[in-house]
């Protein structure tokens, strides 16, 4: 994986990169949009909490595929309504650590149900591992 931010393009304004090149021998994981719904089916009212839950759901999906946050190459965030940008960036920054996947953020009028304020879909890529199992 080669992460680049071309010098002739403005510097990223948040925790993302402009481009990531994936090696030909990579295995790909495409994730459906993850919402802020917990394993017990509860959905927090606070949209920042929904982001935290959706990110944990992403992490659990990555774990199940033998991947981690560092394997993410693309995130798309769908947000409904006014969500505090400073808090949102802090949550994402902490969750991503030093990793900076390509990212797109969209404000939409609604998601699948009225209680959902956040949905995050992702693409990840990792080198093939001889001992990988789908645990």
Residue 17: inside a domain, yes or no?
no
Q: pTM for this structure?
A: 0.88
Q: What is the pLDDT of residues 68-116, one digit of tens each?
A: 999 999 999 999 999 999 999 999 999 999 999 999 999 999 999 999 9
Residue 9: inside a domain, yes or no?
no
Residue 67: inside a domain, yes or no?
yes
Q: What is the pLDDT of residues 4-41, one digit of tens each?
A: 889 999 998 888 899 888 888 899 999 999 999 999 99
Residue 13: inside a domain, yes or no?
no
What is the C-alpha to C-alpha distance for residues 91 and 97, in angstroms, rounded to an integer? 10
Total domains in the fold of the chain: 1
Residue 3: inside a domain, yes or no?
no
Strand spans (E) along 1-135: 2-4, 19-21, 26-35, 72-80, 102-108, 118-127
Whichever domain contains 110, its CATH number is: 3.30.1330.40
Residue 116: inside a domain, yes or no?
yes
Residue 73: inside a domain, yes or no?
yes
Look up the domain containing 86 and give its range.
29-126
Residue 104: inside a domain, yes or no?
yes
Helix spans in the chain (H) = 47-64, 85-96
């Amino acid at each position: 994986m080669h992460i680049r931010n071309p010098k002739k393009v403005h510097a990223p304004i948040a925790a993302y990169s402009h481009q990531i090149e994936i090696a030909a021998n990579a295995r790909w994981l495409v994730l459906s949009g993850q919402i802020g719904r917990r394993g017990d089916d509860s959905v927090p009212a606070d949209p920042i909490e929904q982001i935290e839950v959706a990110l944990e759901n992403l992490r659990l999906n990555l774990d199940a595929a033998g991947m981690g946050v560092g394997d993410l190459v693309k995130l798309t965030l769908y947000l409904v309504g006014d969500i505090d940008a400073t808090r949102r960036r802090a949550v994402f920054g902490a969750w991503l650590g030093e990793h900076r996947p390509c990212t797109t953020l969209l404000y939409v009028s609604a998601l699948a149900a009225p209680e959902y304020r956040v949905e995050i879909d992702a693409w990840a890529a990792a080198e093939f591992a001889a001992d990988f199992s789908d645990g």
